[in-house]
Structure 1
Amino acid sequence: MTMPLERLTAGGFSIGLEAPLDHDWTPAGDQARRRDGRQFGEPDLRQHAELATLADRLGYRALWIRDVPLYDPSFGDAAQVFEVFSYLGYLAGVTRDILLGTAAVVLPIREPLLTLKSAASIQHLSGNRLLLGVASGDRPVEYPLFGRDFEGRGSTFREHVALLRDGAHGHLPEGMAVLPSTSAPLPLLVAGLAQQSPAWIGANMDGCLAYPGTPDDHQRRVAAWRAVAGSKPYSSFIHLDLAENADEPLQRWRFGFHGGRKALASELAALRAAGVDHVGLHLRRNVRPLDETLHEIAEYVLPQFHETQLTQTIR
Structure 2
Amino acid sequence: MTPVAAHGLADPHEARRIARLADDLGFAALWTRDVPLMVPQGPDATASALDDPFLWLGMLAAATERIVIGTAAIVLPLRQPLQVAKSALSLDRISGGRFVLGLGSGDRPEEFAAFGEDLESRAATFRERWSLLRAALSPEPSERAPVLQATGGYDVLPAPARRIPMLVVGTARQSLQWISREAEAWATYHREETAQEGRIGLWQQALAQRGGGPKPFVQSMLLDLQADPAAPAESLPLGLKVGRDGLRDYLLRVHAQGVAHVMFNLVDNGRPMDEVLPLPGHGPALSSVFGSLASAYHSHLIPLLEPCVTHRNPLHPTGRLFAIVAFIEAITWAGLLVGMWLKYGPQANVALVKLFGPLHGVAFMVYVAVTLFAALRLRWPWWATGLALLAAVPPLVTLPLEWWFKRRGLLSVRAGQ
Aligned to 2:84: 115
Match runs of 1:128-167 below 5 Å? 128-167=97-136
1:51 to 18, 34, 37: 18
Describe the superposition over 1:108-133 as per-residue Cα deviations: whole angstroms up to 9, x where unpaired. Answer: 11011111111111111111111111
Describe the superposition over 1:229-249 as per-residue Cα deviations: whole angstroms up to 9, x where unpaired. Answer: 342111112222222222233
Aligned to 1:73: 40
> C-alpha displacement at 1:185, in angstroms?
2.2
2-structure distance, mates of 1:247, 1:77? 28
Aligned to 1:257: 240
Match runs of 1:34-49 below 5 Å? 38=8, 42-43=9-10, 47-49=14-16
Aligned to 1:91: 60
TM-score normalised by L of structure 1? 0.81
Aligned to 2:379: 312
2-structure distance, mates of 1:122, 1:272? 30
Aligned to 1:13: none
Q: Which amino acid in the other structure matches residue 47 of structure 1?
A: E
Structure 1 unmatched runs, 5+: 1-17, 25-29
1-structure distance, mates of 2:115, 2:165? 26
Describe the superposition over 1:11-67 as per-residue Cα deviations: whole angstroms up to 9, x where unpaired. Answer: xxxxxxx2x334x4xxxxx5xx3xxxx4xxx55555211111111111110011000
1:180 to 149, 154, 158: 158
On the 8 A contact 1:65/1:80 being kept in 2, the answer is no
Q: Which amino acid in the other structure matches residue 99 of structure 1?
A: V
> C-alpha displacement at 1:91, in angstroms?
1.2
The alignment of Structure 1 onto Structure 2 pairs a total of residues equal to: 281
More strand by share: 1
Aligned to 2:173: 195
Describe the superposition over 1:202-238 as per-residue Cα deviations: whole angstroms up to 9, x where unpaired. Answer: 2111111111123222211101111113421111122
Report the CA distance shift for 1:45/1:286 in structure 2 as closer, same or farther (over 3 A): farther
1:244 to 227, 242, 249: 227
Higher deviation after alignment, 179-188 or 107-116: 179-188
Aligned to 2:147: 171
Describe the superposition over 1:79-136 as per-residue Cα deviations: whole angstroms up to 9, x where unpaired. Answer: 5511011111111111111111111000011011111111111111111111111011
On the 8 A contact 2:25/2:280 being kept in 1, the answer is no
More helix by share: 2
> C-alpha displacement at 1:258, in angstroms?
2.4
1:211 to 189, 212, 217: 189
Aligned to 1:21: 3
2-structure distance, mates of 1:96, 1:44? 20
2:205 matches 1:222: no
On the 8 A contact 1:241/1:287 being kept in 2, the answer is no
2-structure distance, mates of 1:93, 1:298? 25
Report the CA distance shift for 1:83/1:126 in structure 2 as closer, same or farther (over 3 A): same
2-structure distance, mates of 1:80, 1:185? 31
Report the CA distance shift for 1:89/1:45 in structure 2 as closer, same or farther (over 3 A): closer
Task: Provide the identity percentage.
Answer: 36
Report the CA distance shift for 1:124/1:288 in structure 2 as closer, same or farther (over 3 A): same
2-structure distance, mates of 1:80, 1:98? 24
Aligned to 2:216: 233
2:359 matches 1:292: no
Aligned to 1:274: 257
> C-alpha displacement at 1:299, in angstroms?
4.1
2-structure distance, mates of 1:163, 1:236? 26
On the 8 A contact 2:33/2:50 being kept in 1, the answer is no
Report the CA distance shift for 1:134/1:45 in structure 2 as closer, same or farther (over 3 A): same
TM-score normalised by L of structure 2? 0.62
- The Cα RMSD (Å) is 2.5
> Which structure: larger Rg?
2
1-structure distance, mates of 2:84, 2:269? 33
2-structure distance, mates of 1:109, 1:234? 25
Higher deviation after alignment, 83-92 or 243-252: 243-252
Structure 2 unmatched runs, 5+: 137-143, 209-213, 296-374, 381-417
